Amino acid sequence: MTVFRFDHFRVLFTAAAVLTGAGLTVPAAAQSAPAPSDPSTLLNALPSTSEGAGREIFESASAASEAMDRHIANDRSSIWGEIMVRGAEQEPFDASAAGYDSSQTIITAGGDFKLSDDVRLGLIGSYADISVDDTSRRASVGDAEIESIKLGVYTAIELFDRGFFNAEVAYLTGNVETERAGFSGPIASAFDFDGIMGRAAIGYDLLEDENIWIVPTIGLNVANINFDDTTETGGLGLTVERGDAEFVELRGGIEFGAEISDDVTGFVKGTIIHDTVNTVRSFRVSSSQVSPRLIEFPLRGQDRFEFAAGLTAQLSETVAIAAGYQGDFNENYKAHAARLTVRIGF
């Protein structure tokens, strides 16, 4: 089995090799260096090289429970619902590994129930409608439509009056439909995925004043997503076996908050995120015309800075509404999200 690594323009020759293996004519631009000015012609012989599907399934599932990084335990049991819209942009790694634009709508519902004075146990479920548009040199080279469902449980524990520990474990499932333009027409595929994710965070308020708080936090966010094998329609009829998408993030942040009025509070928070995964991701392609070929992606650094801000208004003794913003930033990746949350206590 041949192994190809996606560094610099090597993907062009990978695509050329796949076409040659199928007995097809390889464009002359792929047979000599330097690489052609528009490599997307050859890139489209292969499935997406952007990794956008796995990354944004993880990011949308994480965004659905972003409150887990804050002090959420209170004196009441409650049910809550949230809607979030999110957009993300990943710059191309180079001419051979596509970037992408993504838009997402995330709907989440949950409830947490008082087990004791200091412990809450909760249930969470979310649905995410995700679009990922692969781009090469700002031109669209394919797209994916994703439906992702998360079902999980979480706990919120108060520690030493001013501290907290939150943890969540969730199951992920859903489906992906992809389409891109091939040499002789559209190339499409559909496949399912499932996985598991977990997160934990601990924090402590440095101030005794109930109206102002400074809360440093540390946390961990992990996930493993498995994709079913699929056979594409159109093109070379490739069977694609995708490797798992793995994420292990260490998080360290600090939150500043205050009571703005009797019924309104606000906060801002900055978090540094370190992605510890250094496993090369890959997929394997084969067909009746093409011998199996393992294609490896370059490692993309996902270390980034996350900024969040929000306001919460207590409408009555039992009803609160919150609005917030969350942004993620590194050299090649940017994301922005807005959310609206309603919580009803009882």
- Model pLDDT for residues 94-138, shown as the tens digit of each residue: 656 678 999 999 999 999 999 988 999 999 999 999 999 988 765
Where along the chain do its domains lie?
2-345
The more confidently predicted of residues 236 and 204 is 204
Handedness of CA 199, 203, 308, 316 (dihedral sign): positive
CA atoms of 114 and 202, how far apart (whole Å): 19
* Cα distances (angstroms) measured from residue 128 to each of 20, 53, 83, 133, 172: 39, 12, 10, 16, 11
Question: Residue 47 pLDDT > 90, yes or no?
Answer: no
Query: Which superfamily, per CATH, for 2-345?
Result: Autotransporter beta-domain (2.40.128.130)
* 250-265 pLDDT per residue, tens: 999 999 999 999 999 9
State residue 288's pLDDT score.
Answer: 81
* 54-71 pLDDT per residue, tens: 999 999 999 999 989 898
